Amino acid sequence: MVQLPQVKQEKVETEIGSHFVANYPPFSVWSKDHVPAAIEKLDAGPYPQTPLGLYVHIPFCRKRCRFCYFRVYTDKNGSEVDVYMDALAREVDLYAERAGLAGRQFTFVYFGGGTPSFLSSQQLTRMIERINTRWTWDAAKEVTFECEPGTLKESKLQTIKDIGVTRISLGVEHFDDEILEANGRAHKSPEIFRAYDWIRQIGFPQVNIDLIAGMMGETDAKWSETVEKAVAMKPDSVTIYQMEMPHNTVLSRESKSAGTAPPIADWPTKQRWVDEAFDRFAAEGYVVSSAYTLVKPSDRSGFVYRDALWRGADLIGTGVASFSHFQGVHYQNVDGWDEYVARCQKGELPINRALPITDHQRLIREMVLQLKTGRLNAAYFRDKFGEEITSVFNQAFGSLVNEKFAEIDGDEVRLTRAGLLQVDPLLQRFFENEFRSIRYT
């Protein structure tokens, strides 16, 4: 286990706010004024040279986790779910008609949420049949489907496989039932093992499990036990997040109301727990794939959606509040149920805000996202953008090296383990001045 130096001026306690960097420039600077730029790109083209992905947002959950900041609903009945799924299929229809997508096939598809496995087999089948009248993903290299253990049945998992899913991501988060309950998770540990057995029996090509370090109630002993149980499952990959407290979570609102700090572990403790997990999985032959992921090397352990997105792929995000990136324009759908459904029913793309970005911002975006894998190759950016990143960002890279968060060897930039485990707050060093120290979301 490594000794973990802390980012300068970084608060040790887990304060309220977002650390996780998913895009650039920050979401807080996107606006309605730029929506026409997104429409213009969608109506131009086509752009066959760019990999294309589809994200399908299923915003339903049995319960809202106390740390959840996504757009999800726990109060919708069956008929309301059907209304949403019809709107979602209509939105996909609207994209199929755009010139910028003509003749293009999906490289990857991702069903996220919420809880995609909340849907019944019948609802899932109807949705796919509707989408397949306009688009299929027969050529996709990866189709990922997020699952909550307690929503699964063997028959539903068979349906999920039949629609072409190649990668299951199982939201385990923890194996201790007291911790699961305290943090608002809907499932319990017996459901994890039952669902995992079905997943393996049905034969999905790739299985990932998610864990979260630092959930409310976590202890050294409980975390160690959770890691051991995860190792024993022998997943193809494991994703381990460090618990954070975005502004719009139940835990954050409770903390702000009470005037107290969120009741979860501080950053050094969470980093230590993830470090321990990385070492334990490494002892079983896993390798670190990013700041959050380990994989068991094989021909089925890649992350196509991640690697494509972090290298500038186009992503069409469908569903309420979904995010997209298309030919240098970021945009997001409306985040309200009624407006989303109404606009889809009227035949309008439900885009709410957008931001066209410069070539330099595209470079920063790809650079900071790829840095989350723990390494960069300067030749990639030289060939694609005509820029020498170690010169353009000399001060930022120099500070990482001086603080022992990174090493540079020719064109190769490598984060140390200490840098990898706290990579997200480090990334602002590469942001343009006007985007540093502002609210990210």
Residue 94: which CATH number? 3.80.30.20
Are 132 and 268 within one domain? yes
Residue 365 has pLDDT above 70, yes or no: yes
Q: Give the containing element (helix H, strand E) for 353.
A: strand 351-356
Task: Confirm whether 12 is domain-assigned.
Answer: no
Are 224 and 116 within one domain? yes
- What pLDDT score was predicted for residue 108? 96
Are 140 and 268 within one domain? yes
Helix (H, G, I), strand (E, B) or coil at 315: strand
Q: In the chain, count of helices (H) and strands (E)?
A: 17, 15
Are 276 and 371 within one domain? no
pLDDT category at 179 given cuts 50, 70, 90 is: very high
At residue 104's C-alpha, the angle toward residues 379 and 383, to 5°, is: 10
Going by the DSSP 8-state scheme, the letter that residue 6 receives in this structure is P
Are 236 and 365 within one domain? no
Q: Give the pair of three-digit tokens for residue 66.
A: 């106390």
Task: Confirm whether 20 is domain-assigned.
Answer: no
Helix (H, G, I), strand (E, B) or coil at 22: coil
For 49, counting Cβ atoms within 10 Å of its Cβ (0-12 exposed, 13-18 middle, 19+ buried), the class is exposed
- What pLDDT score was predicted for residue 11? 55
Are 144 and 214 within one domain? yes
Cα separation, 316 vs 354, whole angstroms: 13
**Number of structural domains in the chain:** 2
Task: Confirm whether 339 is domain-assigned.
Answer: no
Task: With CA atoms as reference, report the closest residue to 145 among 161, 129, 122, 125.
Answer: 161
pLDDT category at 229 given cuts 50, 70, 90 is: very high
Q: Give the containing element (helix H, strand E) for 301.
A: none
* Cis, bond preceding 46 (omega within 30 deg of 0): yes
Mean pLDDT of 378-400: 98
What percentage of the chain exceeds 90 in pLDDT? 84
Other CB atoms within 10 A of residue 11 CB: 13
Are 63 and 205 within one domain? yes
Compute, in degrees rounded to 10, the torsion defined by CA atoms 132, 134, 136, 139.
Answer: 160
Q: Read off the amino acid at residue 262.
A: P
CA distance readout (Å), 224 to 210, 212, 272, 290:
15, 12, 11, 21
Task: Confirm whether 432 is domain-assigned.
Answer: yes
Cα separation, 199 vs 237, whole angstroms: 14
Are 255 and 379 within one domain? no
Cα separation, 232 vs 297, whole angstroms: 17
Query: Residues with Cβ < 8 Å from 401, sequence gap 6 or more?
Result: 407, 408
Helix (H, G, I), strand (E, B) or coil at 323: strand
Are 280 and 388 within one domain? no
Task: Confirm whether 289 is domain-assigned.
Answer: yes
Residue 131 has pLDDT above 80, yes or no: yes
Other CB atoms within 10 A of residue 233 CB: 17
Round the CA-based radius of gyration of the chain to a whole number and report it: 21
- What pLDDT score was predicted for residue 8? 45
Residue 9 has pLDDT above 60, yes or no: no
Q: Where residue 385 sits, what CATH number does that domain have?
A: 1.10.10.920
Mean pLDDT of 112-138: 94
> What is the side-by-side order of every strand in the sheet holding 375-377?
375-377, 412-415, 406-409
- What pLDDT score was predicted for residue 7? 45
Task: With CA atoms as reference, report the closest residue to 53 among 106, 99, 101.
Answer: 106
Q: What is the pLDDT of residues 261-320, one digit of tens each?
A: 778 899 999 999 999 999 999 999 999 999 999 999 987 778 999 999 999 999 999 999
Last residue of a domain, one of 288, 309, 330: 309
Mean pLDDT of 413-432: 97
Task: Confirm whether 48 is domain-assigned.
Answer: yes
Residue 6 has pLDDT above 60, yes or no: no
pLDDT category at 2 given cuts 50, 70, 90 is: very low
Chain mean pLDDT for the chain: 94
Cα separation, 58 vs 71, whole angstroms: 9
Q: Give the pair of three-digit tokens for residue 38.
A: 């997104």
Are 282 and 370 within one domain? no
Mean pLDDT of 74-94: 95
Q: Read off the amino acid at residue 341.
A: V
Task: With CA atoms as reference, report the closest residue to 135 among 316, 309, 308.
Answer: 316
Residue 126 has pLDDT above 70, yes or no: yes
Mean pLDDT of 232-240: 97
Task: Confirm whether 333 is domain-assigned.
Answer: no
Domain span including residue 303: 31-309
Are 286 and 152 within one domain? yes
Task: Confirm whether 439 is domain-assigned.
Answer: yes
Are 303 and 364 within one domain? no
Cα separation, 391 vs 298, whole angstroms: 36
| Global pTM value | 0.95
Q: Give the pair of three-digit tokens for residue 177.
A: 């039932």
- What pLDDT score was predicted for residue 1? 53
Other CB atoms within 10 A of residue 290 CB: 21
Q: How many residues does the chain have?
A: 441
Q: Read off the amino acid at residue 243.
A: M
Chain centroid offset of residue 333 CA: 17
Task: With CA atoms as reference, report the closest residue to 327 among 364, 369, 367, 355.
Answer: 355
